[in-house]
Amino acid sequence: MMLSYVDANYWIYWFDERLPEHEFVDDAMQAAIQGAVVVSTVTLMEVAHYFRTLQPKVLSEKMKTITNLSTLNLIEFSSTIMHSSINFLSTYARVGLGSRDCVILATMKASGSVVLLTHDKAFKKVNDIKVIDEIK
């Protein structure tokens, strides 16, 4: 079974039907959650931040949709992942990846994931991962 990391932007596009990207991500998200999904607690905070102005109950329900997935592998932001993220940052900052992006890479490495659903084009410059981006 393929283990896919889902970046915050894909969760946001999937949940927010007002966004023009929404229609493009549904099939990829459905396929990802049918398999195994890996997400860092940092990425989940990015998703929560986007929806922070919603009513507390609605925000909580959206986040529970993710955290209650039976196929979810939720990875805590640990000191090991932090050090790995810093190493990735020193390598990939020049191609446009920021610190939270490098947390994704470190989490993928720690979990053994090599597939990333994201609309962040800078990830396409990273060796050894497959980027899936269905957005036109």
- In this prediction, residue 2 carries a pLDDT of 81
- In this prediction, residue 134 carries a pLDDT of 96
- In this prediction, residue 109 carries a pLDDT of 97
In the chain, the N- to C-terminal Cα span, in Å, equals 27
Q: Which amino acid is at 34?
A: Q
Mean pLDDT of 12-41: 96
- In this prediction, residue 1 carries a pLDDT of 63
Query: What's the chain's average pLDDT?
Result: 96
Q: Which residues pair with 38 in a beta bridge?
A: 5, 73
- In this prediction, residue 79 carries a pLDDT of 98
**Structural domains in the chain plus CATH codes:** 3-132 (3.40.50.1010)
Mean pLDDT of 58-87: 97
Cβ atoms 72, 66 nearer than 8 A:
yes
Q: What pTM value is reported for the model?
A: 0.95
